[in-house]
Amino acid sequence: MNSLTDADVLRIFEESGALLRGHFVLTSGYHSDQYFEKFQVLSQPHHVETLCRELAARLLARTKPDVVLGPTTLGIVMAYEVAKHMGTPAAYAELDKEGKRFLRREEHLLPGQRVLVVDDILTTGGSVRECIELVEAKGATLCGVGLLVDRSGGAVTFPAPTEALLRLTVEKWPADALPEWLAAIPVARPGSTGKK
């Protein structure tokens, strides 16, 4: 049984000022009327601990990982905290100058290991897929994916058990197909990597 409900997770994001409403251009290029400003919630250690403890509890028995891998930037915070609650090491997938994921410490991910990939907000799955490619390139095995929020509503899938603390279907539109009401709202451009 989960100790945090969807309502609890949503409340944490709302109370942190992490759930924004307006007109946003997402890093994927799509437009949306909602945006999760993960820095607002993941900069608060008590929220990080609460959310990552819950994610670890939901995934530990199902995935039995040897290591937890997270992508830069906030995926590092999550990987560390989830790994702490699972009693496993953490590894961090950084971006090189060409935008490809790599491990600064190669020995942190070894062939044959079971790897749980964690990330904060899922929209298109780009960062998670890059981590999965890194896992496969190292000869390790993806055993699961853990997310704070899946804003695709489950439309984005991965080849392993996947757990999101909160699943929402948040509409998004291409720039050339905006509804009139959204086009009338001034645009904000949050985000950083274009891979979510």
pLDDT, residue 1, reads 55
Residue 153 in domain = yes
Tokens of 106: 């190669």
**Into how many domains does the chain fold?**
1
Separation of alpha carbons 87 and 68, rounded Å: 10
* Domain of residue 88, residue span: 6-188
What is the rounded average pLDDT of the residues 11-39? 89
What is the structure's pLDDT at 114? 98
Asked whether residue 157 is assigned to any structural domain, the reply reads yes
Residue bearing the bigger pLDDT, 2 or 54: 54
Q: Coil, strand, or helix at residue 179?
A: coil
The whole-number average pLDDT for the span 90-107 is 88
Q: How confident is the model at residue 22 (pLDDT cuts 50, 70, 90)?
A: very high
**pLDDT digits 0-9 by tens, 48-85:** 999 999 999 999 999 999 999 999 888 899 999 999 99
Give the DSSP letter of residue 107: G
CATH number at residue 177: 3.40.50.2020
Q: Within a domain: residue 29?
A: yes
Q: How far apart are CA 40 and CA 19, in angstroms?
A: 9
pLDDT digits (tens, 9 = 90+) for 164-196: 999 988 888 999 999 999 999 999 877 544 444
What is the pLDDT averaged over residues 13-17?
91
pLDDT at 193: 45
Provide, rounded to the nearest whole percent, the portion of the chain with pLDDT above 90.
64
Residue 81 domain flag: yes
pLDDT value of residue 49:
95
Q: Is 196 within a domain?
A: no
Whether residue 75 lies inside any domain: the answer is: yes
Residue 51: closest CA among 93, 10, 108, 101: 10
Helix, strand or coil for residue 174? coil
Cis ω before 73 (30° cut-off from 0):
yes
195 occurs within a structural domain = no
Domain annotation covers residue 127: yes
